[in-house]
Chains A and B, each alone.
Chain A
């Protein structure tokens, strides 16, 4: 059974640039969610994708967008990067829909630094 994998593990961007982060979900999982963890904070929910459609979103602006592909892998895109976007971005997969009990399987994260 393959776990959740994310790429890249680390990256550095400058303010105003765009970034794409990638995630492969755990085998058999059809729901992917993304979280942002700033230094000293808990993970914050960005959005969730279920069967290729966004079905939930946290308090993040539209410049945070995503995709889920037919194989349930996912991308997180952030446009017009700001310094405060520097954080660890965590991808998590699960069995979604109404059966979701909240138990998520997280990847190791992508650490983004915006200069």
Chain B
């Protein structure tokens, strides 16, 4: 039973345009969400996060939107750059549990930025 779902295995976007990566979750206990980026042969690196008390968090070209009623979040990258080509993982977390349950990850979306 997947609690965090990324339904698009891959996404191709033209350089300079907006990339939108989507993520859905089923567990109402999750109240903190993160996006990680992974290049081949490297470990995932933290990109941006959002707490459930917010509906938007912005950091430079990256913005994460959270819709709690729909249990949906999205990552917007604008403008998209060639270096953004990577696998993006959505992850969820319940800090009220003291963090001992770890992160629950989706399967990832492979973003390809075309010149």
Q: A42-B108, A55-B98, A97-B98 are in contact. Are A102 and B43 (CB under 8 A)?
A: no
In the bound complex, what is the Cα–Cα distance between A104 and B85 (angstroms)?
21
Most buried by B among A46, A56, A108: A56
Partner of B32, one of A58, A92, A102: A102
Q: How many A-B residue pairs have CB under 8 A?
A: 80
Question: By the criterion CB–CB under 8 Å, are B98 and A108 in contact?
Answer: no
Question: By the criterion CB–CB under 8 Å, are B49 and A103 in contact?
Answer: yes
Q: In the complex, how many angstroms separate the beta carbon of A26 from the nearest chain B beta carbon?
A: 11
Contact-residue bracket for chain B: 20 to 34
A contact residues around B46 at 8 Å (CB):
103-105
Number of interface residues of A (CB under 8 A): 32
Question: By the criterion CB–CB under 8 Å, are A98 and B32 in contact?
Answer: no
In the bound complex, what is the Cα–Cα distance between A40 and B105 (angstroms)?
12
The reply to whether the CB of B91 lies closer than 8 angstroms to some CB of chain A is yes
Q: A42-B108, A102-B32, A102-B93 are in contact. Are A56 and B44 (CB under 8 A)?
A: no
Q: Which residues of chain B have a CB within 8 Å of any CB of chain A?
A: 4, 6, 32, 34, 36, 41-46, 49, 89, 91, 93, 95, 98-108
